[in-house]
Amino acid sequence: MKKFLVAILAVFAVAGIFAADGRLIIAMETEPVGLDPHLVTAFASHRVLENIYDGLFRYDENMRLIPNLAEEAKAVDPYTIIFKIREGVKFHDGTPLTVEDVLFSFQRILDPDTKSPAAAFYQDVESIKAIDNNKIEFKLKKPMASALLPNFAGVNSSIVSKKFVESGKNMQLETNGTGPFYLAEYVPGNYIILKKNPYYFVKDQPKFDEIRIVFMPEEVSRVAALKNGDVDIAKINEPLNLKQFPEGKFKIYRSPVLSYYLIGINTTRKPLNDPRVRNALNYAINREAIIKAVAFSEGVVTGPLNPAVQPWALQPKAFDEYTYNPAKAKELLAQAGYPNGFEFEIVASQRYNFDKVAQVIQAQLAEIGVKVKINLVEWGIFVKKWRESDFDAFISMNSGSIEPDIQFYRTFHTGGSTNVFLYSNPRVDELLDLGRSEVDISKRKAIYDELQRIIVKESPVIFLYSANQVFVSNASVEGFKLLANESLVFLRETYKK
Convert the pLDDT of each residue in 226-273 to its tens digit: 999 999 999 998 888 999 999 999 999 999 899 899 999 999 999 999
d(CA 487, CA 466): 16
Residue ranges in 23-142 assigned as alpha helix (H): 43-49, 99-110
Say whether pLDDT at 6 is over 60. Answer: no
pLDDT for position 12:
34
Is residue 135 predicted with pLDDT exceeding 60?
yes
* Percent residues over pLDDT 70 in the chain: 96
**pLDDT given at position 381:** 93
- 253-267, 285-299, 404-418: least confidently modelled range: 404-418
The stretch 473-482 carries a mean pLDDT of: 96
Longest dimension (CA), the chain: 97
pLDDT of residue 14: 34
Taking a C-beta distance cutoff of 8 angstroms, is the pair 87, 209 a contact? no
355 and 374 in contact (C-beta within 8 Å)? yes
Q: How confident is the model at residue 111 (pLDDT cuts 50, 70, 90)?
A: very high
CA distances in angstroms from 21 to 209, 253, 441, 476, listed in the order given: 9, 21, 43, 10
| pLDDT mean over 27-55 | 92
Q: Which of 8-12, 246-250, 378-382, 406-410 has the lowest mean pLDDT?
A: 8-12
Average pLDDT over every residue of 153-157:
93
Q: Is residue 53 pLDDT above 70, yes or no?
A: yes
* Whole-number pLDDT of residue 4: 36
Pairing of strands 135-140, 125-131: antiparallel
Banded pLDDT at 164 (limits 50, 70, 90): very high
Q: pLDDT-based confidence at 15, cuts 50/70/90?
A: very low
- What secondary structure does DSSP assign to 292-334, as a single string? HHHHTT-EEE--SS-TTSTTTPPPGGG-GGGS--HHHHHHHHH
Q: How far apart are CA 225 and CA 144, in angstroms?
A: 48
Residue 39 CA to residue 45 CA, distance in Å, equals 10
* Predicted local confidence at residue 124, as pLDDT: 87
pLDDT value of position 10: 36
Given a contact cutoff of 8 angstroms between Cβ atoms, the answer to whether 86 and 200 are in contact is no
Statement: residue 157 has pLDDT above 50: yes
Query: According to the model, what pLDDT value does residue 488 have?
Result: 94
pLDDT for the residue 21 = 52
pLDDT at position 20 is 42
pLDDT band at 61 (very low <50, low <70, confident <90, very high): confident
Once rounded to an integer, what is the mean pLDDT over residues 194-210? 96
pLDDT at 109: 95
Q: What is the pTM of this model?
A: 0.78
Per cent of the chain over pLDDT 90 is 77
Mean pLDDT of 44-54: 95
Calculate the average pLDDT of the chain. 91
108 or 350, which is more confident: 108
Give CA torsion, residues 112, 115, 119, 125, to 10 deg.
-10
Q: What is the reported pLDDT for 485?
A: 87
| Secondary structure (H, E, C), 172-224 | CCCCCCCCCEEEEEEECCCEEEEEECCCCCCCCCCCCCEEEEEECCCHHHHHH
